[in-house]
Amino acid sequence: MVSPYLIHFIVFIAFTLLASLYFSFSRYDMLNAPQWIGLENYNKLINDPVFWKSLWNTVYFTVLFVPTQTILALILAVALNQSLKGLKFFRIAHFIPVISSWTVVLYVADAIFNPRFGLANDLLVKMGSQPQQWLNDEALVIPVLVAVAVWKGIGYMMVIFLAGLQNVPEDLYEAAEVEGAGILKKFRHVTVPLISGTTFLVLVLSTITTFQAFEQIYVMTGNSGDITAAGGPNNASMVLMLYLFQQGFAFLKMGYASAIAWVLFLILFVITLIQVKMQKKWVHYEK
């Protein structure tokens, strides 16, 4: 008997992967059969300033987002891992943005970052500073997107950390206390090493999700769902996934989009490999 999984693997995974690899070496507009053009798409990619810009933006987004979210989620998890009044309420409150759709989050973000009516500019003006254009400012658009993404994603990572924290045996803290360790020392020498496995998971997960960030940027920088308007101003928020989607589905350059996809895959693969290699240095698993 042929295993059902094998069929699934061949039809839905191996075949589609090979097809997309083939497309990346072809000119393919979806409406006509693909034409083999060798390395042309990859050559074009190397000479495409928007590709490099979106790669840079993706890296910039990740570098801002991953540490910020990880550190804040950990602090939040530690704060909510003690007996507090209304503990459940706070945990749920931090989780609500996670389950909200990006469209809903957009409205919340707009209430803050709208250049005319937003809270952020109100505050700036009251403090005597110049109002800002936020999402329409080339320098600010990514930091604003990161801030909103952290707000939306932090609850999820917090839950993962909470699970990790609850696995830290209480007697280790007691032993540390006997040795005279304060709160900070306990955190540094007991908590951090013991949840390093969880931290590793959080880092890998959030790196991958930011490299694939699409929906947020599409919703927040586009205009009424127009895919070609997203990624602005002047491509300052163009990230790889969005660029891929635009090239493939809006401009019918599926071959080129496939090449972008493979480059994205290779980058993610290398980064994850590095993370796995590095983990030996700082991640401790209980035997």
Partner 1 sequence: MNQKKVMKLWMAFMTVFALFIAGCSDESSGKGGDDSSATEITLGFYSSGSADEKMQELIDKFEEQHPDIKIKTQNAPYQQFFQKLDTQIAGGTAPDVWLSDGVFVQKYAERGAAKDLTEWINQDLNKDDYYGLDFNKGPNGSYWAVPQGIQIASLFYNKDMFDKAGVDYPDESWTWEDLKEAGAKLTIDTSGKTANESGFKSNSVNQYGLTFFSITEGWMTVLKSYGGGILDDSLKQSIIDTPENKKAMEYIVDGMDRGIFTDPSDLQAFQSAMSPFPSETAAMRIGIYARVLAANETGVNYDVTVLPKGPDGERFSPVIANSWIINNDASDKKAKAAWEWVKYWVSEDDVQKEWAELGEAVPVKKSVAQSDMFLNSGDKPANKQAFLDSFEFAGTLDVNAVWSEWVKKTGDNFNRAFLKEASIEEALERADKEVQKVLDEFYENQ
Positions touching partner 1 (CB under 8 A) are: 2-3, 6-7, 10-11, 15, 27, 29-32, 110, 114-117, 131, 133, 135-136, 138, 223-225, 227-229, 232-235, 246, 249-252
User: Measured in whole angstroms, how far is the alpha carbon of residue 245 from the centre of its chain?
Assistant: 17
Cα gap 249→201, rounded to integer Å: 33
In the complex, least distance from residue 157 CB atom to partner 1, rounded to whole angstroms: 30
In the complex, least distance from residue 18 CB atom to partner 1, rounded to whole angstroms: 13
Q: Please say which residue, 11 or 92, places its beta carbon nearer to partner 1.
A: 11
Burial class (CB in 10 A: 0-12, 13-18, 19+), 235: middle
In the complex, least distance from residue 84 CB atom to partner 1, rounded to whole angstroms: 39
Q: Please say which residue, 34 or 164, places its beta carbon nearer to partner 1.
A: 34
Q: Please say which residue, 13 or 270, places its beta carbon nearer to partner 1.
A: 13
Q: Please say which residue, 59 or 106, places its beta carbon nearer to partner 1.
A: 106
Cα gap 221→164, rounded to integer Å: 36
In the complex, least distance from residue 238 CB atom to partner 1, rounded to whole angstroms: 10
Q: Please say which residue, 202 or 260, places its beta carbon nearer to partner 1.
A: 260
Beta strands in 72-147 (DSSP E): none
In the complex, least distance from residue 33 CB atom to partner 1, rounded to whole angstroms: 9
Cis upstream peptide for 233 (omega within 30°)? yes
Task: Give φ, ψ of 80 to 5 degrees.
Answer: -95, 15
Q: Please say which residue, 235 or 275, places its beta carbon nearer to partner 1.
A: 235
Task: Give φ, ψ of 27 to 5 degrees.
Answer: -95, 120
Which of 250, 255, 257 is CA-nearest to residue 32? 255
In the complex, least distance from residue 266 CB atom to partner 1, rounded to whole angstroms: 25
Q: Please say which residue, 82 or 224, places its beta carbon nearer to partner 1.
A: 224
In the complex, least distance from residue 54 CB atom to partner 1, rounded to whole angstroms: 13
- Single-letter residue type at 265: F
Continuous segment of H or E residues that includes residue 26: strand 26-27
Q: Say if residues 109 and 220 touch (Cβ distance below 8 Å).
A: yes
Q: Please say which residue, 47 or 83, places its beta carbon nearer to partner 1.
A: 47
Count CA atoms closer than 13 A to 107's CA, side-chain side. Answer: 5
In the complex, least distance from residue 223 CB atom to partner 1, rounded to whole angstroms: 6
Which of 15, 58, 39 is CA-nearest to residue 255? 39
Largest Cα–Cα separation, the chain = 75
Cα gap 101→65, rounded to integer Å: 19
